Amino acid sequence: MSGYVLLRHRDIPDLHKLDVYLANGGFAAFKKAVTAMKPEEVLKEVMDSGLRGRGGAGFPTGVKWSFLPNKIWPHYVVANADESEPGTFKDRELLESNPFQFLEGLMLSCYAVQANVGYVYLRGEFWRIAGQIDGCIADLEAAGLLGEKLYGSDYSLRLYTHLGAGAYICGEETALLESIEGNLGQPRLRPPFPATAGLYGKPTVINNVETLANVPPIIERGAAWYRTFGTEKSPGVKIFSLSGNINKPGNYELPLGTTFRELIYTHGGGIPGGRGVKAIMAAGASSTLILANDQSLDTPMDYESTQQLGAPLGSASVIVIDDSVNIAWLVRKTVNFFKHESCGKCTPCREGTFWMDNIARRLISGQGSLKDIDLLYNVASQMQGKCLCALGEFSTMAVASGIEKFRKDFEALVKT
């Protein structure tokens, strides 16, 4: 028996093989759901578990599923495997090493909303993994776990993979849908929301890989068991992708509510050279910078507590920044990333990221002035609240919080 809920492959060799997965209780949950549970019972179990989306927004998964109208058919479920946030590498490990648990979760989600077709949308760079998932799907079809009239019921299900072309924006759920449909990957207007008009204009659930991997154990062992992990409002376990200035970077499966200090020092082995932590990015490049101090280090990493630091937990990709780093350099890195990844659909993000990148580059190269620091901050503020999708807003987070909390780092680079 593994101590892990999600990273079970770390204890069970070859879990990525179907026979090994089946021998370790695999697909018991799916069989139980299809043969013994009504779709709404599956949905209720997930709702009761309090599982929240692991892609970043933390929206309650069961509630999301419940939004699909029963008057419009067909329904679709799309797994978002476009894991592109800098510092996030949890889905990749699941896809590579424990793919069947994820696929079982996807299948349970399909069953819960009575979708007969599910898609796995993978970022273009995951082409090798896509091949592996295709193999898994073929194995499942051969084993009769996917296909027509499963377990003798009336329920039929097919899964397909779809490979993106290397665009961060396609992790945004409506851009992802556009990409599956063969269009340019740009976010759609909302409303309508995907729950009512998603893929091909039909009701669609879009869930993160890790979210879906949580579903089989919830169905198998029940919502009450799942709630034994984590906090009241943020139940369950979460994979924290730890990177940056840290001795032992990697994925750590821990209950939500674990403190930054425990993650960094107990599990991550502390900072190289025993240096101090200067800042933390809890949500990859989209993070609002957290100023590291006793109070923030002792903050539990759950959706509510982290938010109280003014920084969303996001996908929980914790990047540790030690005191040797100039935050202006970090800000330039993130801004450059967003400039490269802005889809260009809306004006503030297309022009704003380009402009911020110019100013930040100027500052880093020592060509900037004090006015440029204010200008950079202004441009970021000028973008906020005006963009078409969340990506545009995210691109300003590190800039604004960086200047607010670490202005001295910027001033140090300015010619006097």
Partner 1 sequence: MAVKMVNLTIDNHPVSVPAGTLVVDAAKKVGIEIPVFCYHPKMDPVGMCRLCLVEIGRPMVDRATNQPVLEADGSPKISFGPKLETACTTPVSEGMVVLTENDKVSEARKDILEFILTSHPLDCPVCDKGGECPLQNLTMRFGPGESRFLFDEKMRLAKQVPLGELILLDRERCIQCARCVRFQKEIVDDPVIGFSQRGRALEIVTFSDPGFDSIFSGNTTDICPVGALTTSDFRFGARPWEMNAAASLCTHCPVGCNLTINVRREARAGGRDVIKRIMPRQNESVNEIWICDKGRFAYHFTESEQRLTEPMMRKGSELVAVSWDEALQAAASRLKKAGEKTITLAGGRLSNEDLFNLCQLTSGLGGQYWMHGTMGGGDLLAQVGVGQGTNLGEFGPGSAILVVASDLHEEAPVWWLRVKQAAERGATLIVASARPTRLDRFAKCVIRYAYGEEVETVTSLVPEYKTDVSEAICAGIQGILGAENLVVFFGSDGLGLEGTTALAAACMELLVKTNHFGRANNGLIAVWPNANTQGAFELGYRPAADLASRLAEAQVAYIAAADPAGDDPALAEALRKTGFIIVQELFMTPTARMADLVLPAQAFTEREGTFVSGERRVQRYYPAVRPISGPRPDFQIAAQIAAQLGFSLEERLASLVFQRLSEAMPDFAGLTYQQLAMVEEQWPLIGRHDLYFGGTGYDNHQGLGVQLKPAAQRLEPLNLPDVPELPPLQAPEGAFLVVPITCLYDRGQTLLPTSLLHERMEKPAIYVHPKLATRVGLEDKQSFQLVLNGISTLVQVIFDENAPEGAALLPRSVGVPIQGPALAQKEIVSG
Q: Name the pairing type of β-strands 317-322 and 237-244.
A: parallel
Choose among 29, 8, 32, 31: nearest CA to 20: 8
The smaller minimum CB distance to partner 1, of residues 307 and 382, is found at: 382
Interacting stretch for partner 1, rule CB under 8 A, among 125-133, 221-229, 290-298, 337-345? 337-345
Q: Yes or no: say if 8 and 15 are a contact pair by the CB < 8 Å rule.
A: yes
Quick one: which of 388, 400, 403, 413 contacts partner 1 (CB under 8 A)? 388
Q: How far is the CB of 339 from partner 1 (least distance, A)?
A: 6
Three-state DSSP state, 253: strand
CB nearer to partner 1: pick between 36 and 189: 189
Contact flags string 344-383 toward partner 1, x per CB under 8 A? xxxxx-xxxxxx--x----------------x--x---x-
Among 342, 399, 400, 402, binds partner 1 (CB under 8 A): 342
Write down the least CB distance from residue 201 to partner 1, Å. 13
Distance separating alpha carbons of residues 133 and 101, to the nearest angstrom: 12
| Helix or strand run (H / E) with residue 81 | strand 76-81
CB of 328 to partner 1, least distance (A): 18
Cis preceding linkage at 191, omega within 30: yes
In the complex with partner 1, the residue whose CB is nearer, 23 or 184, is 184
Record the tokens describing residue 127, joined without a space: 């082409």
Kindly tell me which of 128 and 386 has the beta carbon lying closer to partner 1. Answer: 386
Residue 164 CB, nearest distance to partner 1 (Å)? 13
> Minimal distance in Å, beta carbon 167 to partner 1?
7
CB burial of 287-310 (b: ≥16 within 10 Å; e: otherwise) equals: bbbbbbeeebbebbbbbebbeebe
Q: What count of Cα atoms within 13 Å lies in the side-chain half-sphere of residue 387?
A: 26
Q: Is 201 in the site for partner 1 (CB under 8 A)?
A: no
Q: Provide the token pair at 3.
A: 């101590």
Of 27-35, 36-44, 86-94, 341-349, the window that binds partner 1 (rule: CB under 8 A) is 341-349
Contact call for residue 122 and partner 1 (CB under 8 A): no
Angle separating helix axes 99-113 and 28-36, nearest 10 degrees = 10
Which stretches does DSSP call E strand in 245-347? 250-255, 277-281, 290-291, 317-322
CB nearer partner 1, residue 92 or residue 339: 339
Q: Binding to partner 1 by residue 167, rule CB under 8 A?
A: yes
Report d(CA 380, CA 392) in Å as an integer. Answer: 10
> Residue 152 Cβ, how far from partner 1 at the closest point, in Å?
39
- How is the beta sheet containing 76-81 ordered, strand by strand? 158-163, 117-122, 76-81, 204-208
CB nearer to partner 1: pick between 156 and 183: 183
Cβ closer to partner 1: 125 or 351? 351
Nearest to partner 1 of 5, 383 (CB atom): 383
Six-digit token string for 12:
């069970």
Is residue 189 close enough to count as binding partner 1 by CB under 8 A?
A: yes
Residue 169 binds partner 1 (CB under 8 A): yes
Residues 341, 373, 400, 409: which binds partner 1 (CB under 8 A)? 341
Residue 163 tokens read as: 């490979």
SS3 label, residue 325: coil
Query: In this structure, what token pair is assigned to residue 66?
Result: 């419940």
CB of 403 to partner 1, least distance (A): 16
Which residues 89-108 are close enough to bind partner 1 by CB under 8 A? none
Distance in Å, CB of 126 to partner 1, minimum: 19
Cα 123 from Cα 70, distance rounded (Å) = 31
* Interface with partner 1 (CB under 8 A), residue from 38, 248, 275, 386: 386
Return left, alpha or beta for 195; rule: phi > 0 is left, psi -120 to 50 is alpha, else beta.
Answer: alpha
Residue owning tokens 């107990």: 266
Our finding on whether 228 is near partner 1 (CB under 8 A) is no
Stretch that binds partner 1, among 214-222, 268-276, 301-309, 384-392 (CB under 8 A): 384-392
Of 239 and 387, nearer to partner 1 (C-beta) is 387
Residue 340 binds partner 1 (CB under 8 A): yes
Report which of 412, 85, 409 is spatially closest to residue 279, judged by C-alpha positions: 409
Residues in contact with partner 1 by the rule CB under 8 A: 167, 169, 184-185, 189, 339-348, 350-355, 358, 375, 378, 382, 385-388
